[in-house]
Chain A
């Protein structure tokens, strides 16, 4: 069964304290891995798409990496405004569908305090 697991469930960091969020997946036929940020009361906001092992993407203090079994979202010198829930999703092949399905993890709730 296709699965996406994120860890930790919650992470508290002091401003400037770098860390990483993990997304591990077991899917048949990975077509893409996505990272989203979700603020309370809002929809998920697209951050990155990764397609193949070894690929990396960066945006400001965030860097996403991908291996064959997991992805990491590295946060360098975080600020309080980085506080949000970070969601990982994988797009997997599905019989009869040209697009595949997008499976979401439960997310990591990140809190960055000053």
Chain B
């Protein structure tokens, strides 16, 4: 199994630009999670899906953030417009016996 796949691995953008992060969960896992990791706050849950349906989005910081899961094998996290304080590593995870994390996308907003 290839594990959770995320793209891009690194993203550098300017403030105000739209950013789209992508995730392919492990096949057969019916839960998908988006986390953000920073030095200040550690790992924070942003949103999670069950069977492609958003269940808990209370961790999404504000309306600039949105997430979709159009099918069982793909999800996106979009930030529009991006701000420097959004700079972080964004992880996607899917759930089987435990939560399995992808390699992350390091986002830098200048």
Contacts and interface: CB of A to CB of B under 8 A. Distances in A.
Interface residues of A, number: 22
B56 A34 contact: no
Interface stretch (B14-22, B68-76, B95-103): B95-103
Contact of A97 (B4, B42, B43, B55): B55
Contact of B42 (A42, A101, A106): A106
Nearest to B103: A43
B interface, size bucket? 20 to 34
Given A87-B43, A94-B56, A99 B100 contact: no
A4 to B, nearest CB: 9
Interface of B is mostly: strand
Given A43-B91, A94-B56, A101 B45 contact: yes
Interface in A70-114: 87, 89, 94, 96-99, 101-102, 104-107
Interface in A5-41: 34, 36, 41
A19 B20 CA distance: 42
Interface of B: 4, 31, 33, 42-45, 48, 50, 55-56, 91, 93, 95, 97-104
5 contacts: A34-B98, A94-B56, A98-B50, A102-B99, A104-B43
